[in-house]
Amino acid sequence: MRLLTLFTLLTLFGCGILVSEEEQKEFDKTHKKVQKGVSDWIKKYAIYPDSYKSISFSEFSQSHSSMNGEKIPGSESYVIKHTHKAFNKDSNLVTFSGYFILENDFEVNIIEIERSNSVSGAFPPRTQVWTNQFGRPLNAQDSLEFNKKQKEVKSKLIKDLREGLEKGNFEAENPEDINKLKNLMDTFERMN
């Protein structure tokens, strides 16, 4: 961890950016939460969770969305490369290395072997590259969590669309199209 902190400080100083001690502490805290989020997710979904052994975490980055120069709350996402060993579905000990992309709640949302600059927010999550090799069958609790997440994603989308309409962020050649969009959102809300 000290090496990561030193590397981060050297990188930032080399770029001419000074980081306060408080900012560094917040960065380190977030980095640890991301590592824990990845490890916890693997242990939760692995067919052989006790076989999981972390080898390394690297290439950590974090980002967020902004609107009018303001950070959008809850828009944070995190990417970290993780290498680990675990038993695969054939009970063979295998080394896996990939990029784990997490949402603002530190839940794994996308896993990639090669970095494609994807950002979190995929629904359903795109984790097949890992689950096809190491994942256990989904159970009733997983279905409940999936349905809950699906409702959250739908509600957020409708909320964001409504806010955009109220602020005039959408334009249409035919004003009736805006009314159709509002009616469609009303229908989606009633289906909840």
Distances (CA, A) of 181 to 60, 86, 123, 192: 39, 48, 21, 17
Tokens of 47: 């067919």
Mean per-residue pLDDT, 153-175: 75
- 13 has pLDDT over 80: no
Instruction: Point out the least confidently predicted range of 9-13, 31-35, 112-116.
Output: 9-13
Helix (H) or strand (E) holding 102: strand 93-102
SS3 state of residue 167: coil
Domain ranges in the chain are 2-137, 142-191
Mean per-residue pLDDT, 143-153: 84
Residues in the chain: 192
pTM for the full predicted model: 0.75
**12: pLDDT confidence band, cut at 50, 70 and 90?**
very low
Residue type, 177: D
SS3 per-residue string spanning 24-90: HHHHHHHHHHHHHHHHHHHHHHECCHHHCEEEEEEEEEEECCEECCEECCCCCEEEEEEEEEEECCC
Quote the CA–CA distance of 187 and 156 in Å, as a whole number: 15
Mean per-residue pLDDT, 162-186: 75
Tokens of 8: 């981060």
Query: How does pLDDT run across 40-86, given as a tens digit for each residue?
Result: 999 999 999 999 999 999 999 998 887 777 877 888 899 999 999 99
